[in-house]
Chains A and B, each alone.
Chain A
Amino acid sequence: MATQLSSRLFHKIKQGGTRWFYSYNRCIVSDKQSLSKHLKREVHDIEQVSSQCPSPWMLQAGVCLIRLPLIEEDLSEFQKRYISLKEQMEYENSILNEWELEKIKQTQLMNDIESGKRDASEMDFKVSKQDYEDDYNQAFKEFTESTTELDLNDADFKNINRRPKDYLVLISKQKLGNDTVWMLPTEEWKEEENLRQSAERALTSHCGTLVDASFVSNAPSGFYKYKFPKNARTDAYVGAKLFIYNAFVPRVSETQSTATFNLDIDLNKMLDYAWVAKDEMRNFLKPKYSKAIDEIIF
């Protein structure tokens, strides 16, 4: 009877159906160890594998050319309230500085001289601190900024300075078969080059060689896989795998806040272009495509 009982217990543990908590002492060690003995991992060379079984996916490299925001975002209500509170606290806890002490002394002295308590010879300054302050305030009123204003025409999609507080991405209208599709500038990967080199080639072939964008890494930042429409599918390719590389429009100088962009469009490839913010992308691109780009941009 004892052996029967024990075997039943054993069976239960194996099944894993119920937990018998005094059985943890006798739990069988799982099969993980035995697996490693039998399956040996073979190390392959990439070229060997790819020649043996070519994949039906065309490899493409795309460029996500990003224009960084030109101006800081507005503070939220909470931030404004907190900042004003902090400033108030700092002001209330502060001590008068030398300038303010001098100013108080001088005004006191002038009042005393006027009322006759003190002699006029005690004045040891020509221009009082209060006069300085009045001059400064007046200069501030008269001051005009000599810098050019940003053209805030947010409706023009081709203007690189639109929506100065947001991240903008360049998208282009290209031909895919018979249709025109809005997508990132892409190029097919060729055998001799890196993915990054093909991304750079995509940028120069679509936007011209004058664009001085800087790529950040050798590895792609995003990925998007799509199938061609059934007309365009061949024996070799079912669809394409797009590897997206980040590139940034460079800052022209430390003093200027506007961005400039020298486009030399190849009209065969790029029919139209637009600088598009994150929330506007859905109007142009397919939802999954825009989601893939969303994950790249902040």
Chain B
Amino acid sequence: MYILYLWCKHVLQFFVAVLLSLIRGPKIKDKNMSLSCTWHLWGKSFRVGKCLPAISNSLRHYRNRPTHNIGRMHGLEKPKPPPVRKKEVGTWKPEEYKAVKENHLDALNFIVSGYDIVLVEQYAKYVHQLMIKFKQNILEVYALPSSNAVVKKMLGADQRLLKAMTPEIELTMYKRIIQVKDMPSQTYPILLQTLMHYIPQSITLKVDKHNEEQHLSRYQYRVELAEEKAMLQQLYDSR
């Protein structure tokens, strides 16, 4: 029955289209309308000169499609008109001002130092990740050689040296450096303040400009080079 109904509908539409095209003639003013379409009816195709998709189904609901009830405003609030202004309000037009040129900072060293290696490494990792997230130009991330501080216990008169204890304690200071270049001067204060907030206890963060000295301090002392330099200096002085 349903198939019969469909067939009847198709046939009806076909005849209506044919009739209309006969009545109205070939010219239609609206350019957006499609100029020709084909009607398929069980394998046969009938070409109609100008067809009118506007007539096709706007009353069907397509309830199994996800687009069902699009545009339905039943029970919803209609958009309200804007409230009538009683005060006289001048229109504000934004004016463009000349922007200051962007300033990029030179190579900066973020030095993380402390006595607890776990905290130092974790915090250095945090600094590094923050720079990555803010998409900064990270040049290098390296560790400086750790420095030992020896603490000697001075015993009082009533204290005795316990048989197992040593009077000297070694404290090693660990350092990690994150080198960042061309940081825009607007983001630098923001990053610095977040780093200051999240620093753990007993860790120091220091921010320096990158120098030649700092660069050279990474290299080991060259014995042969120093000797040869000294010899050259002697030759030069003896002249």
The reply to whether chain A is a binding partner of chain B is yes
A18 contacts partner chain B, Cβ-Cβ < 8 Å: yes
> Given A3-B29, A135-B163, A216-B189, are A248 and B196 also a contact pair (CB < 8 Å)?
yes
CB-CB under 8 A from A1, the residues of chain B are 20
- B20 pairs with A2, CB closer than 8 A: yes
Is A5 an interface position by the 8 A CB rule?
yes
What distance in Å separates the Cβ of A290 from its nearest Cβ neighbour in chain B?
Answer: 20
Whether B91 sits at the interface, judged by CB under 8 Å, is no
- Segment among A39-47, A78-86, A90-98, A180-188 that sits at the interface with chain B: A39-47
A218 at the interface (CB under 8 A from B): yes
Classify the interface of chain B: helix, strand, loop or mixed: loop
B189 touches A3 (CB 8 A): no
Do B33 and A72 touch (CB < 8 A)? no
A217 CB–B CB distance under 8 Å: yes
Mark each residue of chain B from 20 to 59: 1 if its CB lies under 8 Å from any CB of chain A, else 0.
1000100011101100000000000000000011110010
Hey, what's the 0/1 contact readout for A117-150 against B, CB within 8 Å counting as 1?
A: 0000000000100011001101100100000000
Is A31 positioned at the interface, with any CB of B under 8 Å from its CB? no
Are A6 and B30 in touch, CB under 8 angstroms? yes
Q: Which residue of A has the minimal Cβ distance to B162?
A: A135
User: Among B1-9, B93-101, B126-134, which stretch is in contact with chain A?
Assistant: B93-101
**Complex interface: stretch among A19-27, A198-206, A227-235, A278-286:** A19-27
**B53 contacts which chain A residues (CB < 8 A)?**
22
Stretch at the interface among B81-89, B197-205, B220-228, B230-238: B197-205
Q: What separation, in Å, do the CA atoms of A49 and B94 have in the docked complex? A: 12
B193 interfacial by beta-carbon distance below 8 Å: yes
Check B71 for interface membership: any CB of A closer than 8 A: yes
CB-based nearest B residue for A71: B201
Chain A residues lying within 8 Å of B73, measured Cβ to Cβ, are 18
Give the contacts of B153-179 with A (CB-CB under 8 A).
Answer: 159, 162-165
Q: Is residue A298 within 8 Å, beta carbon to beta carbon, of the partner chain? A: yes
Is residue B192 contacting chain A, with contact meaning CB distance below 8 A? yes
With A43-B96, A43-B98, A219-B189 as known contacts, state yes or no: A136 contacts B164, CB within 8 Å. yes
Per the bound structure, the CA–CA distance linking A122 and B151 in Å amounts to 37
A127 touches B164 (CB 8 A): yes
A2 to B19 CA separation, bound complex (whole angstroms): 13
**Of the residues B165, B193, B204, contact of A139 by C-beta under 8 Å:** B165
Q: Tell me if A216 and B193 are in contact (CB < 8 A).
A: yes
- Across the interface, B201 reaches (CB within 8 A) one of A72, A131, A254, namely A72
Please tell me if the beta carbons of A42 and B20 are within 8 angstroms of each other in the complex.
Answer: no
21 CB-based A-B contacts, threshold 8 Å: A1-B20, A5-B52, A5-B55, A9-B54, A21-B71, A42-B96, A43-B97, A43-B98, A44-B98, A46-B98, A71-B201, A135-B162, A135-B163, A136-B165, A216-B192, A217-B186, A217-B189, A219-B186, A219-B189, A221-B189, A248-B196
> In whole angstroms, what is the CA distance A37 to B209 when docked?
48
Q: For the complex, is B188 an interface residue (Cβ under 8 Å from A)?
A: yes
The reply on B64 being an interface residue by CB < 8 A is: no
Distance in Å: Cβ of A87 to nearest Cβ of chain B: 13
A49 vs B164: C-alpha distance when bound (angstroms): 81
Which one of A46, A72, A254 lies within 8 Å of B200 (CB-CB)? A72
Q: Smallest CB-CB separation from A25: which chain B residue?
A: B32
Residues of A within 8 A of B188 (CB): 217
Beta-carbon contact of B32 and A298 below 8 Å: no
Nearest CB in chain B to that of A217: its residue = B189
Contact A68 B196 (CB under 8 A): yes
Partner of B70, one of A9, A19, A217: A19
CB-based nearest B residue for A49 = B95
Min CB–CB distance B15 → chain A (angstroms): 16
A77 to B217, CA, bound (A): 45
B122: interface (CB < 8 Å): no
Task: With A2-B20, A72-B201, A248-B196 as known contacts, state yes or no: A135 contacts B97, CB within 8 Å.
Answer: no
The chain A residue with its CB closest to the CB of B28 is A2
Give every chain A residue within 8 A of B95 (Cβ-Cβ).
Answer: 41-42, 44, 49
Partner of A26, one of B32, B52, B162, B196: B32
What's the Cα separation between A21 and B71 when bound, in Å?
Answer: 9
Docked-complex contact B32 and A135, CB < 8 angstroms = no
Of residues 73 through 127 on chain B, the ones whose CB sits less than 8 Å from some CB of chain A are 73, 95-98
Contact B71 A19 (CB under 8 A): yes
How far is it, in angstroms, between the C-alpha of A248 and the C-alpha of B52 when the chains are bound? 75
Report the separation of the CA atoms of residues A3 and B200 in the bound assembly, to the nearest whole angstrom: 76
Distance from B109 Cβ to chain A, minimum over Cβ atoms (Å): 17
Encoded as 1 (CB less than 8 Å from any B CB) or 0, chain A from 251 to 288 comes to: 00010000000000000000000000000000000000
Q: Does any Cβ of A come within 8 Å of B148's Cβ? A: no
B49, chain A: closest CB distance, angstroms? 13
The 3 residue pairs across chains A and B that have the minimum distance between CB atoms: A217-B189, A19-B71, A135-B164
Report the separation of the CA atoms of residues A132 and B162 in the bound assembly, to the nearest whole angstrom: 9
Is B52's CB under 8 angstroms from A41's CB?
A: no
